[in-house]
Structure 1
């Protein structure tokens, strides 16, 4: 076989491998019980070699899941042990420090055997609606309060499901049918990946993925190193102040580019919080690496070899919180890590990095119940919402877009179907994008009310209320967010709070920062903004 023929053959097999993990992810999307999975795509799926190195990931998925999963599989291999792995096995955990950073994410790993030979692993992750405890929120004082903890263990052995684990889950969560249903969906996701992989290997005549893995890793590593070597050498610092829980939090980063590697160190960040906004280092690594790849190697496949070029370090602090720190809403601070890292990269690569955006999702968990003396339905409802993305060099920011998480907008019809709530308003928020030569993306205005004879408590997990997204290169900040009732009562951006019967919760989501001097914005672009209602007046 000539070198060119081998190259073509490997490329065809690589494309087949991508199709395998895409079908794996689609299985989870189509069978999931939770709206956050099937509607918003809060999941990940991937295939790994026998050593636990990520070969390929599905396009559908969030960096916080994909990049933590890349490390989590190694923990599964160590904990379970190769001698205790059998065909038909599936392993599970929600350990925040060995999984994805908080208890609400369930990670499942399944070994893939060709005959009696281990040829790889499939892994997937999804956010479930409830894990017991205090519920999805920042009010816990330790991880013990935040829900049931599942150490790395077998969900199924040789195809037989662990019924004791299922019984424990049902006894500890508020929505047992949804949660247990999602566990089976995750297991099915890996099973489909395994079957498609074995079909592919049998069709092509492969007995292992070793040669294909070597091909993928060699080319990915070479391409990534070429990009890094073309960067300026040195170190650049950035700080980002954010709302925190009851006091502001400072995040600090130093990006150092030296030779063939890029390191990000988070020394100088605020200490571990007593509230559940802390971030395990595995999640910090995931989003720091994602930010680096967005600028340095956005078009290079995300796998073990490309991630290996980026190293992350931090002393113990809010971005490297140790067990048993509360970490339930680690995504709020974690989603700000890319803006923090990109701010340092902007000093190394001026004119090439987008402005800050809303960053953290404005997720809301609602616990709906009949009002006092009334009868009706109870429900736990999770709704994902996004503010505006920062303006980009040469382009306006995207409105109501989840950057960096990449999750999709949840249709209000899907949210209303899950429980007795009404979404009265969900529209773009005028004037929320920061002015600039390129305007920041707009946030949203959302109004939510419990149905007749109902009330609800909600967990606020919001940021950019007191610290709006900053512009870049002369661009203006985006509008800050706000949380209130429809009678004007101001509410806190974090923590469990109450919305009485007949009142509406009004969320005004933050906008992204602008890029470049607003005076340089073209008259055509401003006229378009006015005609579409994105802005109501010319910026000063």
Structure 2
């Protein structure tokens, strides 16, 4: 039994551990080369015990990264047992099925030592702009076409970088300098966390963090289970149709609340397809449990304990449990819809706690091309400009406009985008009235118009959704406006696929609005 003084000490150390992971994350953000990391904070960072359980995570980070990384460390331990780990080691992978769902996310895990003894592991993830292949597009037929595939390997051995592995990574990127810099940024991130943890252990005179880990995870799990115990018991189903690629995709879920926890089963969902919008189960799980946590236990810190009462299943071979080597580069297009699917189930049991559907999936404007430098040489460029539409109306408030929920990343600033690539953003403004009407209105999307600069054409790697099937209103609220994508020239353009944007043309995007909630007349 924990005494009052021990309880207080544990709470202080718990908060300190969250601060350690915050310091870890800040290092990654400040040293990253990728704009989507440095400006938009598309990362995750966390500390794990020696059983591979995530004890704490940085507040900054996306659910798709954090909640899939929460399981990935166990894969690292299985490949490199604890008794083989040495000070100065670091391990790397971008395996979509063991990491965060696609090849552009690198995961690095580092053993942390204190006074010569292994005490924890730090892990972090960030999005690298280019890892070769077809990149973050929908067009590959399998994962091997999408870029460089790195199994779980040792990147650094007792402080010595595997130069052969690093040369392979650089050689398979159109942006080798930036890619190498981002890898070292991830390494520095974990090293910062390990140093901060050792300092904390000195301060609190700790030889191990095992007792602290047990305290954190037990308290978190108990808090979530207490919230679940207060919920009505039963099963509820919900379905959603998304744009898909050539044909619509059906997402089906049955959510069951029982004394054992909450389980979501995606049986009935469409099969995987030969385009890169398939989702590995790790990413499906990550966004599904995030949706559950938002409604069921929003005040409980996210860790292995708080995630334990939530379980997710999807039949193998469906688009939500794509089997290797399915193409998965744009897995966010489907995966980020899943909180809305989970909300749809929960709304039937908890009508006063759940928002309407929103734009959900990020509208990332991913561009790639070559432009002439002052030296008249052609230099490759690649950039993802992050934006989104409106969120669904909330039970007591309107939805948020131009906000990336559920991903949580920041929108890319126009000035930063124009510095990083030869493009001009001619317009970026709210799409007034695009949110669905209701007792509470859905959030508005935005209107963006952009083109190449100084005669530069570029390729658009489009992966946009909610163009055919908009966010639906709930409880009598109206649907949000559908998204739209077009060229100023009037030439047709697909919402998914690779399109050449000519130097004299302009790309126009209208991002979707969120659904309204409740009857506006009442």
Query: Which residue pairs with 2:10 in the alignment?
Result: 10
Contact 2:385 2:411 in 1 (8 A): no
Which of residues 430, 433, 437 in structure 2 aligns to 1:435? 437
Query: Which residue pairs with 2:307 in the alignment?
Result: 307
> Structure 2: how far apart are the matches of 1:243 and 1:269?
14
* 2:313 is the alignment partner of 1:346: no
Query: Which residue pairs with 2:154 in the alignment?
Result: 154
Q: Which structure 2 segments of 5+ residues have no match?
A: none
Query: Which residue pairs with 1:489 in the alignment?
Result: 491
Query: Which residue pairs with 1:357 in the alignment?
Result: 358
Moved more, 355-364 or 490-499: 490-499
Cα offsets for 1:194-248 (capped at 9, x unmatched): 0000001011100000111121112111111101111111111011000001110
Tell me how far 1:380 sits from its aligned partner. Answer: 1.0
Tell me how far 1:100 sits from its aligned partner. Answer: 0.4
Contact 1:103 1:149 in 2 (8 A): yes
> Structure 2: how far apart are the matches of 1:517 and 1:319?
33
Moved more, 90-99 or 344-353: 344-353
How big is the alpha-carbon RMSD for the aligned residues of Structure 1 and Structure 2?
1.3
* 2:329 is the alignment partner of 1:328: yes
Moved more, 67-76 or 487-496: 487-496
Tell me how far 1:370 sits from its aligned partner. Answer: 4.5
Q: What are the equivalent positions in structure 2 for 1:61-460 lying under 5 Å apart?
A: 61-316=61-316, 317-370=318-371, 377-460=379-462
Contact 1:471 1:515 in 2 (8 A): yes
Contact 2:242 2:466 in 1 (8 A): yes
Query: Which residue pairs with 2:515 in the alignment?
Result: 513
Do the aligned partners of residues 370 and 209 (structure 1) sit closer, same or farther apart at CA in structure 2, a change above 3 Å counting?
closer
Tell me how far 1:368 sits from its aligned partner. Answer: 2.6
Moved more, 297-306 or 1-10: 1-10
Tell me how far 1:80 sits from its aligned partner. Answer: 1.5
> Structure 2: how far apart are the matches of 1:19 and 1:352?
30
Tell me how far 1:375 sits from its aligned partner. Answer: 6.9
Tell me how far 1:369 sits from its aligned partner. Answer: 2.7
> Structure 1: how far apart are the matches of 2:355 and 2:323?
32
Which of residues 477, 483, 489 in structure 2 aligns to 1:475? 477
Question: Normalising to structure 1: TM-score of the pair?
Answer: 0.94
Query: Which residue pairs with 1:533 in the alignment?
Result: none
Tell me how far 1:409 sits from its aligned partner. Answer: 1.0
Number of corresponding residues: 518
1:118 match: secondary structure = strand
After TM superposition, where is structure 1 displaced by more than 6 Å over at least 4 residues in a row? none
Do the aligned partners of residues 76 and 2 (structure 1) sit closer, same or farther apart at CA in structure 2, a change above 3 Å counting?
closer
2:521 match: secondary structure = helix
Which of residues 498, 503, 525 in structure 1 aligns to 2:500? 498
> Structure 2: how far apart are the matches of 1:236 and 1:436?
24
> Structure 1: how far apart are the matches of 2:214 and 2:97?
29
> Structure 1: how far apart are the matches of 2:297 and 2:492?
43
2:457 match: secondary structure = strand
> Structure 1: how far apart are the matches of 2:246 and 2:426?
30
1:250 match: secondary structure = strand
Tell me how far 1:486 sits from its aligned partner. Answer: 1.2
